Copies of this chain bind each other. A is one copy, B any other.
Amino acid sequence: MELRDISRLLYQIKLADQRVATSFEKETGFSLTRYEMLMIVHDKGVCSQSEIQQAMKIDNAAITRHLKILEEKGYVRRERNTANHREVFVHLTDEAKHDLTSCEQDHDRSKHLITKVLSESEINQLSSLLQKLNQL
């Protein structure tokens, strides 16, 4: 495996990422990162930012900024934990829940782009390969 080949492979990953993220945003109206963030908060119900950080593995600074935007849009509410004023608790608003489920439903009707180029089993393959990469 030459360095040249590795560079080509990794660059393909970069391109795929860009492609896929922008197409997700076009289809759903949510940025991929913020959608993921909302879903994580949704699953946890209420959580601190560092919990989000651990789940998403991106920088805390990015979390803060996304949440600020989501708050402005009225999708999340943030309150300092009264028992520990260091942390901020985040939870979804009803509006967010509503918009997310309606987005899901819209989506169910019009299959996502990715299912047009990859079969179910290929998606599973991809997922397990990515999992290995993300162990690095």
Contacts and interface: CB of A to CB of B under 8 A. Distances in A.
- The interface size bin for chain A is 35 or more
A83 interface: no
A132 to B, nearest CB: 5
Given A1-B123, A114-B6, A120-B1, A130 B16 contact: yes
A10 B1 contact: no
Copies in the complex: 2
Chain A, interface SS category = helix
28 contacts: A1-B112, A1-B115, A3-B108, A3-B112, A4-B39, A6-B24, A6-B114, A7-B32, A7-B39, A9-B114, A9-B127, A9-B130, A10-B20, A13-B13, A13-B17, A16-B17, A16-B133, A19-B133, A19-B134, A114-B136, A117-B132, A117-B133, A117-B135, A118-B129, A118-B133, A122-B132, A125-B125, A126-B126
